[in-house]
Structure 1
Amino acid sequence: MQDQKIVLVRRAGYDWGSTVRGNTGEAYLTKITFLVIPEAAARIGALQSGQVDAIAYPSSNNISEVSSSSNVFTAASAGVVYTLYPNVTNPLLAQLPVRQAIQRSIDRQEIKKVTLDATGTAATSIVSHTFPSYTNLSSQLTDSSKAVTSILTKAGWAKGSDGIWAKDGTRLSVDLQYSSPNYEQLFELIQQQLKANGIELTLKQLTAAQVTANQASGNWGLTYGNLTRPDPDVFLSSFTATYSNFITKDVDPALVKLIDDQSAEADSAERSADSKKIQKLIVSDGLGFPIEEATSVIATKKTVHGVRFTAPWWAIFGAAWIEK
């Protein structure tokens, strides 16, 4: 029934599933009913009262409560993490030192501590740790006021009386446009972190239609998003002007060449090497400010076992079973 439920029935004789799901034979469960329950609190209530056996995406505010009485299965999405994308056609964000200063102004460990629950993971690269050819770039993603000062001073910026960097009469002030209120706490924390480093961030909550229209016209500074895909071609979709919704101008020819080369490379080892170089360039160029890994969360009754996930992050129930 549309907007109410979906019923899946086990297919008799289906015994050729991927080993990833933990069961290559027929599914253990004969039927699964997916109920549409939009509100997180209502989903949690349904689980705790025994009305349902499992829920997806329990509220992060209640994850500790849920964990004490439930099984919690999690998986990091293999792909580009949740990232602040800069508009490289914006006069300020077109400047490499500005992007590099923003990169080093974000304290991802504080973000983990303040805004993420026990299932959340701070970004340590532009891709998640489950991504093929992931390379740990956490040393380049640590906040450093000293690094910010050095970068901007060398580029001719100076702090004004209000504590904000300025150059040729222009203050270092950018905006972040978003539509979902779910990110307000996160964005306000990042705003504080940037301000502590002399960078002004203006938060603009708009409708989804307004955000889309502004992105199409180039009238934006930063925006937030991620892309799930466990393959290096995710860089083609996210960080080249030809395909990306956010990077509308190629600013680093070396990066574009690497992305194109890996897309055409047949040798897996060479492709992996290119992928690692791409990750480093995106971070060092400040073409993406990685914040947190996307995580899929399924909470179940204690009697439910065997929930697994695909590489992107979708739950698999072919090996799931209920303890009687």
Structure 2
Amino acid sequence: HITDKKTQSQYAAGLLGPYESALVKSPTEIEVRFTRPYAPFLQAASTTYLGIASPASLKKGAEALCAGTTAVGTGPFKAGAYTRGQQRAYTRNADYAWAPEGAGHTGPARLDSFALRFITEDATRVGALTSGQVDAAGAVPPQQAGAVKRDPKLTLTSRSVPGAVDAFYLNTKGALFSDVRVRRAFQLSVDLDALVGSVFQGTGTRAWSLLSPTTPDSYDKSLEKSWPHDPAKAAALLDEAGWKGRDADGYRTKDGKVLTVSAPVYGQASLFSQAVQGELKKAGIKLDLAASTDAAEVSGRLDSGRYDVVELSWARADGDILSHFLLSTETSAGGGHNFARVADPKVDRLLKDAQAETDRAKRAALYAQVQRWALDQAVVVPAYVEQTTVAANRKVHGLRQSVAAWPEFYGAWVEAR
């Protein structure tokens, strides 16, 4: 179903990598074949993206599946009532008896039921928690984290999200960032320590690598402190690249053109993106945050390469997330995320060697080479490590975060009121 072209799967299909075929060998065994060794499949198979789904529900088609009322899986909860944009309810699967090791207990979930409410406004979401309307709330904003911590009725937990950190991917095939000097100037112009501290009010962590420190068997700790803010060096690089002039607003110019970095943004530019925009202005670089709510327009720009930089992050508890962003075959037009438009045979070889390697230490060493290359060539500028925060009433117990930092409800229970 995932690899069927009619499904138009992108990320899940990408997780299958060099998938070739599957053979059902018994009611409880399946043999999956690949065109080459592919160790990341083991971790990928543990995610919801490759979760086991009922063939009957899949046959109902994309429209029914996207409506959110017909999907059938194998988890500890069954899908209940669903109101689009408002709430999703779940009820306990009384037959559940296959919890993984380390889940905390066995058998059916402790909760009879629970409901997820979709509250997008930060103040309203936190207010619903402090007033007792909900038992827990996710995505607590930095501005309110302190108040939550001080409330004796509440707890606040935070976990760094593994995978690709929030970062700026520079279009190496574009006219502007095809020059490595300009890429390095962009990399050194932003005081990330100051910005992350200011925007996230002490609750954020500046990133030094494309990968989060919590990404298993892959993060290269030696990169920490290896490329600090250096405006003088950035200025020298821009001078060397020919961007010596200045316009009335202080932006650098070359041959009558302003040094403008085009950044497509779906929806609204974040507070952090705007802070980076202000920081780059000090260096004479104009960051154009081209915000749009037209998904087709944004994706069209990405697919055709009509941009200079893309800011994004992606959670995954495996270093192979690097392949989704740097493997030459992972183009945007093909459903991939190689927004830096990297096409380097050395990088491809390192990533494929890592995919074939089952020794964790050896895989980590290969991923370290890729991380160092990406920073040396300034094809990516890591910004900050995303955090998943969950605040809860102290009467809530057993609500924990998975290795991917998602909330897990299987072991949760609530004291009687």
Normalised by the length of structure 2, the TM-score is: 0.70
Quick check: 156-165 or 65-74, which moved more?
Answer: 156-165
Q: Given the superposition, is the C-alpha separation of residues 222 and 63 from structure 1 closer, same or farther in structure 2, using an over 3 Å criterion?
A: same
One-letter identity of the residue aligned with 1:135: D
* SS of structure 2 residue aligned to 1:104: helix
Q: Provide the residue aligned with 2:287 in structure 1.
A: 201
Query: Counterparts of 1:248 and 1:150 in 2: how far apart (Å)?
Result: 24
Q: Given the superposition, is the C-alpha separation of residues 44 and 160 from structure 1 closer, same or farther in structure 2, using an over 3 Å criterion?
A: closer
Query: Counterparts of 1:214 and 1:254 in 2: how far apart (Å)?
Result: 28
* SS of structure 2 residue aligned to 1:125: coil
| Unpaired segments ≥5 residues, structure 1 | none
Q: How does 1:25-174 map to 2 (within 5 A)?
A: 26-69=108-151, 70-132=154-216, 133-136=218-221, 137-160=223-246, 163-167=250-254, 170-174=257-261
Q: Given the superposition, is the C-alpha separation of residues 45 and 256 from structure 1 closer, same or farther in structure 2, using an over 3 Å criterion?
A: same
Q: Any idea what the Cα deviations from partners look like across 1:78-116, whole Å, max 9, x if unmatched?
A: 100111111222101111111111111121111222211
Q: Say if 2:197 and 2:203, in contact at 8 Å, map to a contact too.
A: no
Query: Counterparts of 2:389 and 2:122 in 1: how far apart (Å)?
Result: 12
One-letter identity of the residue aligned with 2:179: Q
Query: Counterparts of 2:277 and 2:120 in 1: how far apart (Å)?
Result: 30
Q: Which has the higher contact order (CA 8 A, sep 6+)?
A: 1
| Unpaired segments ≥5 residues, structure 2 | 1-80, 331-335
Identity of aligned residues (%): 29
Q: Say if 2:302 and 2:339, in contact at 8 Å, map to a contact too.
A: no
Larger-gyration structure (1/2):
2
Q: Say if 1:74 and 1:119, in contact at 8 Å, map to a contact too.
A: no
One-letter identity of the residue aligned with 2:264: Q
Quick check: 262-271 or 226-235, which moved more?
Answer: 262-271
Q: Given the superposition, is the C-alpha separation of residues 20 and 220 from structure 1 closer, same or farther in structure 2, using an over 3 Å criterion?
A: farther
One-letter identity of the residue aligned with 1:66: V
Q: Any idea what the Cα deviations from partners look like across 1:277-315, whole Å, max 9, x if unmatched?
A: 111111221121111112212111122233222222211
Q: Given the superposition, is the C-alpha separation of residues 152 and 167 from structure 1 closer, same or farther in structure 2, using an over 3 Å criterion?
A: same
Q: Say if 1:227 and 1:238, in contact at 8 Å, map to a contact too.
A: no
Query: Counterparts of 1:125 and 1:22 in 2: how far apart (Å)?
Result: 33
Q: Provide the residue aligned with 1:322 in structure 2.
A: 414
Aligned equivalent of 1:238, options 310, 325, 328: 325
Q: Provide the residue aligned with 2:380 in structure 1.
A: 288
- State the shift of 1:171 in Å: 4.2
Q: Given the superposition, is the C-alpha separation of residues 240 and 32 from structure 1 closer, same or farther in structure 2, using an over 3 Å criterion?
A: same
Considering only aligned residues, what root-mean-square deviation do their CA atoms show, in Å? 2.5
Query: Counterparts of 2:220 and 2:314 in 1: how far apart (Å)?
Result: 17
Give the aligned length.
323
